[in-house]
Chain A
Amino acid sequence: MSAAGPAGPQLVVHVQHALTYTLFDCKWVPRSARLLCLGSAARGTGLLQLYELQGGRLALLREIEKAEPIKCGTFGATSLQQRYLATGGFGGNLNIWNLEAPEIPVYSVKGHKEIINSIDGVGGLGVGEGAPEIVTGSRDGTVKVWDPRQKDTPVANMEPVQGESKRDCWTVAFGNAYNQEERVVCAGYDNGDIKLFDLKTMSLRWETNIKNGVCSVEFDRKDVNMNKLVATSLEGKFHVFDMRTQHPTKGFASVSEKAQKSTIWQVRHLPQNRDIFMTSGGAGSLHLWKYEYPSQRLKKDSEGAEMGVAGSVSLLQNVTLSTQPISSLDWSPDKKGLCVCGAFDQTVRVLIVTKLNKV
């Protein structure tokens, strides 16, 4: 079971809790030992459950039921005091909830015609600068950026050209938000397209195709000059792109790894160390990886244009927790090594990764 042996980081299951509904997303509530589970009950309604870690178990604090099943959620765009949750639903609705008074959403818009597959927020939680914004990616092929202060219309809309057959957008991520103007959105689609949109210039900055549908993209940090981007896909492959140097024709340098025989559903970087990330797979396994930078991150090609050099990725540890895919993963921003993962076998597990200081 342990690739690095007893000397490396261990993935210890701290709590395993069975649920009675399908779990789609699980998130830590910032600055607390509480976590949120989002999903869909058997009767077709959405469920939000708030749990607290107590001793060796999860205690249910609140349960909120909504009319529409919830697919994804983020705390990324709210302040630390408010801690509002932004959720994307199966009907294409984007809602922002105040968990203390969840009857009526603080902000609500029917943003998309089809299910919102992925959501991300930036500008909140005391991280980064600039306006708080939420980006949603949907099965209708569009990616929209919302500002909670502006009702009904998105502040940016990335949609296919008229007449183009649409491809589902499976994942979105914010990045490069290091000052008030700069911001970048990365979107992954089901035909393997990865597109990078620059919100400052409102243009498509880069696109590539990794052949297999892109399940998850994430920048290693949202609030710095974009450094690394990990994109995971079907058939067990993931790519790490070095985002510091963009070559005019070749784009960004990347290294790819084929890890698990099944789809890699999620990638999440450790908030406390941006070179460590965990991938979760369709066979119920979790892999912990470390990225090593090359000796030189830049090199010149034959015409003298600069291009990036990708480093290498090494597996630190892996563990198989379930037979069903682990579809959601979240690191706690407060405690290093604490993470929660939710799988399609209707269980949520809290894991602790040890020895991350020595990696």
Chain B
Amino acid sequence: MPVWLREYSWRQSGSAVYLSLPLRGLRVTPANIFCTDQYLKVSIPPFLFEAVLYAPIDDTNSTAKIGNGVIFFTLYKKEVAMWDSLTLANANKETLQYLRENAVLKAHEKAKEETEAKKVTKQEHKKYALEATMKLEEAERKRIEDLKEKERQKVTKELELWKKQQEDAEKQKQVQKEEKLHQEVEQLKEKKKEKINKTGISNEGTSKTRLKPTKGCHGSNSMFSENLKEEQLPAPRSAATIKINFTSRVFPTALRESRITEEEEWLHKQAEARRTISADLSELQDLKEEEKNPDWLKDKGNKMFATGNYLAAVNAYNLAVRLNNKLPLLYLNRAACHLKLRNLHKAIEDSSKALELLTPLVPDNENARVKAYVRRGTAFCQLELYTEGLQDYEAALKIDPKNKTIEKDAEKIRHLIQGTMQDS
């Protein structure tokens, strides 16, 4: 329940009403005051003052002054008349309610209208500003264009002038040359006559006819100058060759072709592989020092393979793998041994493992990869899985297209496949 403020005093003139409302100690802000054309309310919770006015007022122009513990309202009447009292006397509850609600609605509408109006003006202002900037920019652009045009025209004129000069100069030169030519031909004729008398051969004459015609009407004059000049020019250089080397890189590719990241990865992997020792040391304590070195074991294995002792080679590679299972070459070589021993499935397994370890694909491990594909292909073919075998041979061919043996073998497999298909 609000506390009603009823201590107010008012006086009026013909056109205005002056209302003073004391508020002891209360802080008032404009938000607490609500006024429409026939309703006035001041609400500072829990205090409330409300008045349904006797006659409508002009609420847009009316003012409220807050200060000194008092609100002083100056309400301008819509109609000039003297009020009997500030508020409507016979205001019952319903009318009051109705009036109140009406007032609120009206206030809302007013607020809406105001915002609308504001929006519209804002839009217009923006448009105007935009147009102004556009005009400025246009002007700037035009100015630059004009400057450029002027330059262009100036330059074109100069060019035309220069061209004319060139042409005039050329014409002059031609005229001069023709005169000279005429003179020299005369001289030559005289000389020729003399020479014929002496030797009977006229070299200059023949050389004149043999030299190809030169540009335009410069004709024979230039031949004379050529002859003279050639005597002054040094003889052609004696032929020589300079041998050059190109900058070497770890991987010989230029920067734009380089697959640096992959190559680095490959180098890194190799380095890592060499360092890991994955075996269980306890079992291997009774081995000699050198037998614990996977590389040494690999060499041993290779030697035994070369002599034909495939089982021993497999043993050596097995031990090496137990020591270090990241070296692709071990698996590769073991695959070769298994092939020879006709352990085809094991050969396929080992070639596959080798191929797995030979990633990323770089030119460095091309050789190894070709071998792995060929071995696996052979194993497949011996198991009569010709299609898989052909796939591997083709993969090998893709890496090394110039290898004739691989090509021939691939062809053979293709024929075999076609043969079996025809039979079945």
Contact = CB atoms under 8 A, between A and B. Distances in A.
A271 interface: no
Interface string A153-176: 111111111001111000000000
Nearest to A208: B247
B254 A131 contact: no
Nearest to B215: A100
Contacts of A213: 254-256
B147 interface: yes
Contact of B152 (A12, A157, A190, A338): A12
Interface stretch (B232-240, B314-322, B331-339): B232-240
A213 to B, nearest CB: 6
A204 interface: yes
Interface string A199-221: 10011100101011100000000
Nearest to B233: A131
A167 B255 CA distance: 13
Given A10-B151, A79-B222, 15 more contacts: A12-B148, A12-B155, A81-B225, A83-B215, A132-B233, A133-B237, A155-B236, A155-B238, A155-B239, A156-B240, A158-B242, A166-B246, A167-B246, A191-B247, A192-B247
A180 B234 CA distance: 7
Interface residues of B, number: 44
B244 A79 contact: no
B151 A12 contact: yes
A314 interface: no
B324 to A, nearest CB: 34
A14 B159 contact: yes
B212 interface: yes
A68 B258 CA distance: 33
B216 A156 contact: no
Given A10-B148, A99-B215, A81 B239 contact: no
Contacts of A154: 239
A42 interface: no
B244 A199 contact: no
Given A14-B159, A98-B215, A158-B244, A130 B234 contact: yes
Contacts of A145: 237
A147 B233 CA distance: 12
A60 B280 CA distance: 85
A55 interface: yes
B236 A149 contact: yes
A189 interface: yes
Given A156-B239, A354-B151, A338 B254 contact: no
A6 B140 CA distance: 13
Contacts of A354: 151, 154-155
Contacts of A155: 236-240
Given A6-B144, A56-B156, A354-B155, A167 B234 contact: no
Contacts of A12: 148, 151-152, 155
A338 B218 CA distance: 27
Interface of A: 6, 10, 12, 14, 31-33, 53, 55-56, 79, 81-83, 98-101, 106, 123, 130-133, 145, 147, 149-150, 153-161, 164-167, 180-181, 189-193, 195, 197, 199, 202-204, 207, 209, 211-213, 234, 334-335, 338, 352, 354
B244 A147 contact: no
B255 A192 contact: yes
Contacts of B147: 6
A302 B144 CA distance: 53
Nearest to B240: A202
Given A33-B166, A81-B218, A335-B159, A147 B237 contact: yes
Interface string B220-254: 00100110010001111111111111110000111
Contacts of B166: 31-33, 334
B215 A81 contact: yes
Nearest to A185: B242
A134 to B, nearest CB: 12
Q: Is the interface of B mostly helix, strand, loop or mixed?
A: mixed
Given A131-B233, A189-B246, A53 B163 contact: yes
A131 B234 contact: yes
Contact of B160 (A55, A132, A159): A55
A204 B243 CA distance: 8
The 6 closest A-B pairs by CB, nearest first: A191-B254, A147-B236, A155-B237, A81-B222, A202-B240, A150-B236
Contact of B162 (A10, A166, A335): A335
Contacts of A197: 242
Nearest to A337: B155
Interface of B: 144, 147-148, 151-152, 154-156, 159-160, 162-163, 166, 170, 212-216, 218, 222, 225-226, 229, 233-247, 252-256
Contact of A157 (B226, B241, B252): B241
B226 A160 contact: no
Nearest to B237: A155
Contacts of A160: 243-246
B152 A33 contact: no
A263 B236 CA distance: 37
A111 B355 CA distance: 46
A87 B364 CA distance: 41
14 contacts: A12-B151, A12-B155, A31-B166, A82-B215, A98-B212, A145-B237, A156-B237, A160-B243, A160-B244, A167-B254, A180-B234, A213-B254, A213-B255, A213-B256
Nearest to A82: B214
A33 B244 CA distance: 41
A83 B214 CA distance: 9
A181 B234 CA distance: 9
B212 A106 contact: yes
Contacts of B152: 12, 14
A130 B156 CA distance: 38
A161 B148 contact: no
Contacts of A352: 155, 159
A157 B242 contact: yes
Contacts of B214: 81-82, 98, 100
A211 B214 CA distance: 46
A167 to B, nearest CB: 5
A296 B247 CA distance: 32
Contacts of B242: 156-159, 197, 202-204
